[in-house]
Amino acid sequence: MDNSFIYFDNNATTPIDDRVLDSMLPYFKENFANANSTHQAGIAANSAVKDARNNVAELINADPTEIIFTSGATESINIALKGLSLQHTNYKKHIITVKTEHKAVVDTCKYLESLGFEIDYLEVNNDGLINLEQLKQIIKKDYTLLVSVMWVNNETGVIQPIQKISTITHQANALFMTDATQAVGKLTTDVLENEIDIMCFSPHKFYGPKGVGALYINKKSKAKILSLQHGGGHEAGLRSGTLNVPAIVGFGEASKCAIKDMTYNEKHISEIRNIIENRLLKINGSFLNGSKSQRLYNTLNICLPNFDANIFIGKYKNIAVSNGSACTSSLIQSSHVLSAMGLDDTQSLGSLRISIGKANKFSDIEKLVQAIEFECKNGKSLL
């Protein structure tokens, strides 16, 4: 990427931290052994995986034995939802989730519906937050198997009241799961304090490598997950296959860096986000999508007048922003998240997600804001 390119799509993925890359490189060539081999090189690779597991566990205040390495958060979600459900086919066939969840959760739940599971999708208010009273009304004591609520929404940055949700869930003798992909590494995500049974996340959202993720399963909970992949019994029998040692090592290093850098990152990133937000909200007719107060400090989702997000993204090739989730933003359709929050198609298609990372500079702001201001002034209305 040349120096004229500015990247404001950090909720899709982040650039790898130099410290993380340096930690990974030896495991591609010099220390390349299979972590399950019993010779000296294999034992060394296994030790590196063990260290990484400890670092990941420390980041979320878990026990290392509760961390299962996967290929990413989407696989973690699939293992958890399918494996848990298929373990309980004779009873507790009720699952509750939210309309604004990531497609990895929504689509997996739709698949489980086809197998006969009863799925309730909670509504959200205009600010993107769920209604806790609705959850209390829908949850069925001793029949609901699982409540799955995303910690931080990937499109709006809205932060759900996770601890309150887990309390309601456990009062009904159900399990609580959260997709914490946008939260881990950016916020304090203490699994014990928040009474989380199952959590899914991935390091490429906090300056780690792609192609690796984690599934946390609280060993003290009643979460019993059926293995969906067989062939060696790796990762506590839940995810057979040769471990991706370089990526796992990078995951561990990214976790260490997140612990060190979290306070500074929040201060730097929130300052940039707030400047951009204040500038864009001065555009007549613009408004914020999602709660202003219950929101991740790096995310700005804004609806703009006389604006087409898809045209903007295609026109300004030296600016990386998003019109929604990276998993679906290539499709010219309304965001299911914004639609659930009450936006119509015109408003949804006229909304931009701007997600800031630690590599962004204050000098990036003017280029982005001027381009958006120009398009709002000179663009064609979608109406």
The per-residue pLDDT for range 275-303, each reduced to its tens digit, is: 999 999 999 999 999 999 999 999 999 99
**pLDDT number for residue 231:** 82
Place of tokens 């001793």: 142
Q: Which of 77, 109, 105 is nearest to 93 (CA)?
A: 109
Sign of CA dihedral 131, 134, 138, 142: positive
Distance CA 220, CA 226 (A): 17
**pLDDT number for residue 382:** 43
Asked whether the beta carbons of 207 and 13 are under 8 A apart, the reply is: no
* 175-179/213-217 β-pairing: unpaired
**pLDDT number for residue 103:** 96
Partnered with residue 213 across adjacent β-strands are 70
CATH topology (fold) of 18-256: Aspartate Aminotransferase; domain 2 (3.40.640)
Distance CA 351, CA 322 (A): 9
Distances (CA, A) of 237 to 79, 220, 226, 231, 268: 12, 18, 9, 9, 42
For the segment 30-55, what is each residue's pLDDT rounded down to a tens digit?
999 999 999 999 999 999 999 999 99
**pLDDT number for residue 334:** 84
Domain boundaries, the chain: 6-15+262-378, 18-256
**pLDDT number for residue 17:** 98
- What parts of the chain have a pLDDT lower than 70? 1-3, 324-332, 380-383
Model pTM score: 0.94
Instruction: Looking at 6-118, list the stretches that DSSP marks H as alpha helix, in order from N- to C-terminal side.
Output: 18-24, 40-60, 73-86, 103-114
**pLDDT number for residue 378:** 86
Q: So which residues are the catalytic ones? A: 327
Domain 6-15+262-378 has CATH 3.40.50.740: no
**pLDDT number for residue 236:** 81
